[in-house]
Amino acid sequence: MAAVSVKLGDIGASWTAACRQAVSDLNVLFRRKGIQVVLAVNGSGPTISVRTDPGIIGTAVHGKTSAETDAAGKLVRADVRLPVKPTINTPAGMRDAGTGMAEVIAAHEFVHALGHAPHNSHLMAQTLNKVLGDRAAGDKLQAGGISMPPLQLSDDSVAKLKAIWG
């Protein structure tokens, strides 16, 4: 099984928690779907470096990923940029988004780093819509009729990742 390291820069406590949860939940999902890669915070292997980017506005539900791959499409190194502070508009005004929403954004970018280039559906949808929770902990992102977390990959995404990682 291939190992990939996720190195968290100075991204703050909220993003650190969200990224750690994304790593954990993606590993469970990869194992369940037979994708032969495991992510580890500060682990070994090719590295996904994670930082925040003040150029990505907080109301956006996306990051930016650039990745270098080998001839087989496997990760050599990647750079993931996340918004400094994701926000959500509530009837009471703007507030920080919950960790669940941040986890989905981070996981989406990690899967891009692993070689999944196109946007299709589920976690890898082009458009993710915010779903306001009763409190920040209940915030989710939705693609089509699927709300996350929990993280979900489409059959097409699973096939793409298996083609790269086995």
User: At 18, is the pLDDT very low, low, confident or very high (cuts 50, 70, 90)?
Assistant: very high
Q: Give phi and psi for 32, each to the nearest 5.
A: -65, -35
Q: Label residue 73 exposed, middle or buried (CB < 10 Å: 0-12, 13-18, 19+).
A: middle
Give the list of residues 6+ apart from residue 70 with CB closer than 8 angstroms, or none. 76
Asked if 66 contacts 78 with a C-beta cutoff of 8 angstroms, the reply is: yes
Q: What token pair was written down for 13? A: 């406590």
Q: In sequence order, what DSSP letters do the residues of 71-123 get, joined into one string?
A: TTS-EEEEEEEEESS-EEEETTEEEEPPHHHHHHHHHHHHHHHTT--S--SGG
Distance CA 156, CA 161 (A): 9
Asked if 75 contacts 67 with a C-beta cutoff of 8 angstroms, the reply is: yes
Domains annotated for the chain, with CATH where assigned, are: 2-165 (3.40.390.10)
User: At 58, is the pLDDT very low, low, confident or very high (cuts 50, 70, 90)?
Assistant: confident
User: At 90, is the pLDDT very low, low, confident or very high (cuts 50, 70, 90)?
Assistant: confident
Q: Which residue has the tokens 């209940």?
A: 138
Give exposure, 120-144, as e/b (b: 16+ Cβ within 10 Å): bbbbbbeebebebbeebeebbbebe
Please tell me the predicted confidence (pLDDT) of residue 152.
97
Tens digit of each residue's pLDDT (9 = 90 or more) over 125-159: 999 999 988 889 999 999 989 999 999 999 999 99
Please tell me the predicted confidence (pLDDT) of residue 36.
97
Give the list of residues 6+ apart from residue 98 with CB closer than 8 angstroms, or none. 88, 133, 135, 136, 137, 138, 139
